[in-house]
């Protein structure tokens, strides 16, 4: 058994360090997300990944030629029932760190969406 461990790269013979507390790492998944709804407080997005509730992620928000990074906490994840081959999930996120310029862009996007709905309603 010792020969098997050595052959498989057993590292227990070398110094290892225990991490106490949190150690930040990065797992980046570049995926265009389908945005279902948006507000200053959060968003409902569609994703291929079933993100872990209460986990914190960095999201990149791009609108009107500006790009901002925000932090968001996953609040809920709901599987979508679709006929496609790929699983999809609705992920509700709460924004926890939003730069002022991103809030301005979110306000503009929401206002533009409301204006277009009002104009569409006038034609009925």
Domain locations in the chain?
A: 33-122
CATH number for the domain whose boundaries are 33-122: 2.40.10.220
Best CA proximity match to 28, nearest among 54, 53, 60: 60
Model pLDDT for residues 55-65, shown as the tens digit of each residue = 999 888 888 78
Q: Token pair of 37, please?
A: 């709804």
pLDDT number for residue 48: 85
Model pLDDT for residues 9-47, shown as the tens digit of each residue = 665 666 665 656 665 555 556 667 788 999 999 999 998
Give the contacts of 59 (CB within 8 A, at least 6 positions apart). 69, 70, 71, 72, 93
Distance (Å, whole) CA 91 – CA 76 = 6
Best CA proximity match to 98, nearest among 70, 61, 56, 64: 70
Strands 34-38 and 66-79, bridge-based pairing: unpaired
What are φ and ψ of residue 122, in 5° steps? -70, -30
Model pLDDT for residues 67-120, shown as the tens digit of each residue = 889 999 999 999 987 666 568 899 999 999 999 999 998 998 888 877 777 777
The pTM assigned to this predicted structure is 0.67
Distance (Å, whole) CA 119 – CA 77 = 33
pLDDT number for residue 114: 79
């Amino acid at each position: 058994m010792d020969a098997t461990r050595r052959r498989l790269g057993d590292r227990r013979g070398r110094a290892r360090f225990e991490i106490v507390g949190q150690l930040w790492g990065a797992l980046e998944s570049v995926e265009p997300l389908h945005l279902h709804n948006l507000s200053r407080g959060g968003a409902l997005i569609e994703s291929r990944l079933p993100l872990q509730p209460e986990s914190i992620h960095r999201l990149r928000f791009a609108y009107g030629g500006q790009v901002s990074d925000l932090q968001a906490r996953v609040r809920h994840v709901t599987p979508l029932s679709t006929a496609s081959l790929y699983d999809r999930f609705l992920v509700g996120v709460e924004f926890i760190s939003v730069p002022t310029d991103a809030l301005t862009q979110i306000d503009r996007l929401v206002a533009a969406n409301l204006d277009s709905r009002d104009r569409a309603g006038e034609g009925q």
